[in-house]
A and B are shown apart, each in its own frame.
Chain A
Amino acid sequence: MNYEKVLSREDRAVIALRALYEQYGYSGFRIEKFEPYDLYRENKNFLTAETAITFPDSRGRLMALKPDVTMSIVKSFDPKDVSAKWHYTESVFRRGGVTEEFREIRQIGIEYLGGEKTYPQLEVILLAMKSLDIFEAEGVLAIGHMGLLRKVLGDTQEHRDELLSLLRRKNAHDLKKYEKGEVFASLIELPADPDRALDHLREMLQAYDVEKELHELSAVVELMHAHGYIKQLRLDFSVIHNLDYYNGLVFQGFLSGVPKVVLNGGRYDQLLEKMDRSARAIGFAIYLDEVAPVLAQPIEKIDVAIMCRTENMPLLFETVERLIQEGKSVRVCDDLKVASRANTIYALYDDGKLEEVSRA
C-alpha cells in the first residue's frame, strides 16, 4: 500500500521535524491532556495573556486542559540527571482571542534541560533554523537576549513595562522620550546584517557590562555563518519574552507568506528555578496552525466514483476491489453532485459493465 500518498504536507513536515530532532538525540515526550491546575497556578504568568481552561474532577480537584507543554516537561525533569532532551507533538488548550473562545493550539517542539553552558543553546538555535527550512518557504529567525535587556534596563522598576512594550513594538519615536531612550531605540534600529548589528551593539553598549551576552550572540552569528544560515538571521531586541522566566537568548521564527510568528523559543533557566530544579533550559515550539498557509495543498480528488445501477452487491464489491488493486481511490455514491468530485464517474450495471457517466 502506498502510505506516502495519504500523508498531507503537514504530516510530512511533522515527520521530517521529528526525524530531525531524533537525529540530534531528542526522545519523544507524551503528556496527559488533563493535569491538576496547581502546576500552572504558581507560574501562570509563564503562559501568555491567554488563560487555561479549568474544570473540577470527580474528587473536586481543579484540573486544567493542558495549556502548556514546557511546564509538564520541566516537572518530569530530575535535576540529578545531567541533561534531558525531549521533542513533542502535542495540542495545548487555552482561552483567548477577541471572544475568549476555547482554542486548541497544535505545537511541535523541543526542550533541552540541563547540560553544558554553550553547546545546548547553540544546538537548539541551529535546530530552530533547520526546522524553518523544512517548510520550504523563506524563513527568518530573529534573536534577542533577555539577559542583555535586563542589564540595560538596570535596577529601575519605574516605566519598565512601558519600555518593554515600546521595544516590543519597535516604537523608537516614543522610546526616545524616556531616560536612556536613545540606547533602547538603538537596540531596535539595528541593521539587518547580523555582523553589522553586532558591531553596532558593541559600540553602543560600551558603558554596560554585557560582554558575556554579546559573546553569546556572536557565537550564534558565527554558527549561522558556518552553516550557511547567516542571511536568515536577524538580531532583534523586539523579541521579548517574560523577564520573570526567560534569562538569555530568546528567538522567534517567521516564514514568508505567514503573517504571524510561527516559532517561539528561548532560554528559561528561571522557570526551572521557580519549579525548584536549578538547571539550564532552552527550547522552542512551532505553531502548526500558523504554518498552515505554506502547507496549503489542493483538495485531492478521488480517482473514480461508481454510481450503482445494480442490486448485485458482490459484483459491486468485486468491482471496487479491482479498481483499488489497480491503485485507484474509489467512492460509491448515487448522487451525481457528490460523484462529480471524482476524476472519472462510472455507472455499474448488472452485467458488470462500467460505463462512463457524463458530468452534464
Chain B
Amino acid sequence: MLKMAIPTGRMGEAVIEALERTGLDCRQLKNGSRKLIQDLGSLQIIRVKPSDVAVYVEHGVADVGIIGKDILLETEPDVFELFDLGFGACRMSVAAPKGYEDPGKEILRVATKYPHTATKHFAAKNRPTEIIALNGSIEIAPLVGLSHVIVDIVETGTTLRENGLEIVEVIAPSSARCIANKASYQFKRDEIDALLDAWSEK
C-alpha cells in the first residue's frame, strides 16, 4: 500500500479533490473526521501540518507527499520532486510599502516566515541583510518599522494591497508538488507512476 502525507488546511482539501479525480473514493476524508491516518484501499493517507509533509516523506514514514513549492524551497529536503499539480499557485516574493526604494548603504532588514529562502535570495545578489524571522502577519513588519521589506508568498495580492504593500520582485513561482522518498521510489515505482499518470491525464 502506498502511504501519502497530505497537508491539513486548504491545500489538503485541493489534494483530496485531485485524488477524487483519479477515481479514488475519498468520502471518508470529507466527512469532517479528525482521524489523522485513513486507509483508502490502495492508498493510506496521513494528514500532517503542511510544513511537516516533507519530514514524513524524507524519513520514509510516507512514500509520497503533497507539499507547496514554497516549503520545498525553504527546507530543501532530500526527496524526489516528481510532479507539479498546478493548484495552490502563488509567488514567493519580495514586497515592500508602495514607492519603496532600496535603502542602499543600510543593511536591508527583511521580515519573513522563510528565513532560508530569503537569506539565499539576497546572498546571491550580494546584498547584506538582517533576516527577521516571524511566524505570521508578516505584512505588519514594514508598516511598523520592523523591516524594510518582507519575503512571503503572494496569492492574489489582496492582503498586500490592503496594507499598502506591493511586490518588488518575484523570487520563484510556487504550487503544490508531489514529492517521493528516494528509496520508496525504487521499490514502489509502479504505484507512484500510476498515480502520477492518472494526474497528468486529467
Contacts and interface: CB of A to CB of B under 8 A. Distances in A.
Contacts of A140: 186-187
A173 B84 contact: yes
13 contacts: A140-B186, A140-B187, A170-B81, A170-B185, A173-B83, A174-B81, A254-B186, A256-B187, A258-B60, A259-B58, A259-B183, A260-B60, A261-B182
A131 interface: no
Contacts of B83: 173
Interface in B162-191: 181-187, 189
Contact of B82 (A170, A234, A254, A258): A170
Contact of B186 (A142, A172, A173): A142
B161 interface: no
Interface string A232-264: 001000100000000000000011101111000
Nearest to B180: A170
B81 A254 contact: no
A286 to B, nearest CB: 14
A171 B183 contact: no
A78 interface: no
| Nearest 5 interchain pairs by C-beta | A259-B60, A170-B80, A140-B186, A173-B84, A171-B81
A172 B200 CA distance: 13
B53 interface: no
Interface string A117-155: 000000000000000000000101010000000000000
A260 B82 CA distance: 17
A260 B183 contact: yes
A254 B188 CA distance: 12
B189 A259 contact: no
Contacts of B187: 138, 140, 254, 256
A192 interface: yes
Interface in A251-280: 254-256, 258-261
Contacts of B181: 259
Contact of A169 (B81, B183, B184, B186): B81
Interface string A171-183: 1111000000000
Interface string A150-173: 000000000000000000011111
B86 to A, nearest CB: 10
Given A169-B79, A170-B81, A261-B182, 10 more contacts: A171-B81, A171-B82, A173-B84, A192-B189, A234-B186, A254-B187, A258-B183, A259-B59, A259-B181, A260-B183
A29 B81 CA distance: 39
Interface residues of A, number: 19
A254 B182 contact: yes
B85 to A, nearest CB: 10
A86 to B, nearest CB: 28
Contacts of A259: 58-61, 181, 183-184
Contacts of B184: 259
Interface in B149-166: none
A330 B183 CA distance: 42
A260 B110 CA distance: 35
Nearest to A138: B187
A238 B183 contact: no
A138 B184 CA distance: 12
Contacts of A142: 186
Interface in A313-333: none
Contacts of B185: 170
A258 B82 CA distance: 20
A172 B84 CA distance: 9
B52 to A, nearest CB: 13
A234 B186 CA distance: 8
Nearest to A171: B81
Contacts of A169: 79-81
A171 B184 CA distance: 16
A171 B185 CA distance: 13
A149 B202 CA distance: 33
Contacts of A254: 182-183, 186-187
B44 to A, nearest CB: 16
A191 to B, nearest CB: 10
Given A259-B60, A260-B60, A238 B80 contact: yes
A173 B182 CA distance: 18
Contacts of B59: 259
A294 B178 CA distance: 27
Contacts of B84: 173-174
B84 to A, nearest CB: 4
A256 B188 CA distance: 10
B34 to A, nearest CB: 27
Interface in B103-126: none
A238 B78 CA distance: 12
Nearest to A172: B82
Contacts of A258: 60, 183
A256 B182 CA distance: 11
A258 B61 CA distance: 10
B1 to A, nearest CB: 14
B174 to A, nearest CB: 12
